[in-house]
Amino acid sequence: MTFLDVAVEAARRAGDLIREKAYQTKQVKQKTSASDLVTEVDQRSEEIIRDIILRHFPDHAILGEEGVAAGDKTVEEVWEESRQHEYVWIVDPIDGTSNFVHGFPFFCVSIALAKNGELITGVIYEPMRDELFTAEKGKGAYLNGQPIRVSGEETLAESLMATGFSYGQRRVQQQLRTLMRTAPRFRSLRNGGAAALHLAYIAAGRLTGYWELGLNPWDLAAGVLLVKEAGGEVTDTWGRPFDLTVRNTLATNGKVHREMVELLRESQADVT
């Protein structure tokens, strides 16, 4: 089985569980705040994905959202440790956990593989619509097996943009400042509440772009590869190159990227 086959199998198996539980009552625990949640389904989903990956590739490292949350290490420490392995899988067992908790059907499984720090495989699976987004480095991006491309908008004035609010008051306030400056310039703005799906939707041409402050590698990894393979651009919110340590992220169809970077520059003087 190829890396992609294994990622797809893991995403579909986890997705089956998530779909089954989507409208049932969940056991919800708070992590860092009332907005940062985990359910037993997130944990079970991560176990399913881990088991499938390790059955095929026992010596690969796995950086998973709930594994990090459950331990006493920071994401930076875990990422540093996993970089000692040639292959690192980066897993979000449910991206959009708050949506999942409320039965708002916009959440997904996100699985990526990095080789020596470079993304080579990305899979995002949205169980409620049975949509499987896949990408391999240099081989394009696909939705349910059909090639996808980013959208053609050339200006922000004709763009459908998305954003999100990371946990923590400081981030929310910073993000509100960027919104005051940017939102009036777009055709319209969305917050679906699942970073990975926003990125998959850019790859599929359904959104023009998306930015958020304070993201984690598991929110981003698979979606970043999808956007790039579909012809889009991903940088930090200052326009600097993306790598997996970047938290403040901007992804677009490429055509509106410079205009958006310029606009963000004026509103994020205090963003780190």
17 binds ligand IPD (CB under 6 A): no
39, 97, 208, 235: the active-site residue: 97
Is the Cβ–Cβ distance between 53 and 79 less than 8 Å? no
Options 3-11, 88-96, 235-243, 253-261: segment touching ligand IPD (CB under 6 A): 88-96
- Binding-site member from 67, 127, 193, 205 for ligand IPD (CB under 6 A): 193
Residues 82, 97, 174, 252: which binds ligand IPD (CB under 6 A)? Answer: 97
To the question of whether residue 148 is assigned a binding role by annotation, the answer is no
Structure tokens at 190: 């969305």
Interaction between residue 166 and ligand IPD (CB under 6 A): yes
> 195 and 164 in contact (C-beta within 8 Å)?
yes
Q: Is 130 a catalytic residue?
A: no
User: Do the Cβ atoms of 121 and 136 come closer than 8 Å?
Assistant: yes
9, 42, 46, 95: the active-site residue: 95
Strands (E) located in the chain: 28-30, 37-39, 61-64, 87-95, 108-115, 118-126, 131-136, 141-143, 146-147, 160-163, 188-190, 209-212, 233-236, 249-252
- Residue 137 DSSP class: T
65 in contact with ligand IPD (CB under 6 A):
yes
Binding test (CB under 6 A) with ligand IPD, winner from 15, 67, 164, 254: 164
**Catalytic residue set:** 65, 92, 94-95, 97, 219
